[in-house]
Structure 1
Amino acid sequence: MGLPVLRDDLSDSELDAIVEKANAASAFLKAISHEGRLMILCHLVSGEKSVTELEELLSARQAAVSQQLSRLRLEGLVVPRRDGKAIYYRLADDKPRKMLETVYELFCGDDAE
């Protein structure tokens, strides 16, 4: 699948579909644009983590981690699970993993110089 070509002869419904996808992409990029949220996603790639584990991994306060998790949850990127008093988070689907792989290739791959 390639990039859409914005032509003068697009129907209103085709243009609306492109705008809708652009809005979704923009919301996704805003959600991952914060270093803390990006690092949370990086840690969750390896599997489910509790809020306490994420606090330790990020060296951050619980309130800050919870705030970032809330935004990621609102955007549908992570899913919570409660086990007693502990709350665990995991990636909601494969979209964040694919994005992180792309970011890694862009900024950390052999060609990134």
Structure 2
Amino acid sequence: GGCEKSAAFGAPLSPEDRGRRRKSGFKRYCSTHRGEDHVPLMRKRCRHGEGCDGFAYYRKQTDGEPMYCSRHKELKHVPSRLQCLRSDCNRSASFGEPGTHSAIFCGLHRSERHVN
């Protein structure tokens, strides 16, 4: 029998492959069995290239696919999901003011009054 954990790590992708959907063949190792040179492949990487290893969180308003990290986004790009309002946080927002149905903070940066 082999390891039963989910594979989420693999060799770094070339700049040409960044931003493309991950195929199951790229993910070969779990967190326990990954090598020192393996990287997480669960999320898309920034398409900027030139050595950027950032995760793609920003997209064009007309496209649902995230393409750029916060360092390489342009003014016209928007977050690919609701993000925490704290400027130094890239986590998903899932808490907001009671009765508003708008998520504005992640669990780490919410206050006691915010609800999920």
Name the structure, 1 or 2, with higher relative contact order (CA <8 Å, separation 6+). 1
Give the TM-score of the pair, scaled to structure 2: 0.26
Give the TM-score of the pair, scaled to structure 1: 0.27
Structure with greater proportional strand content: 1
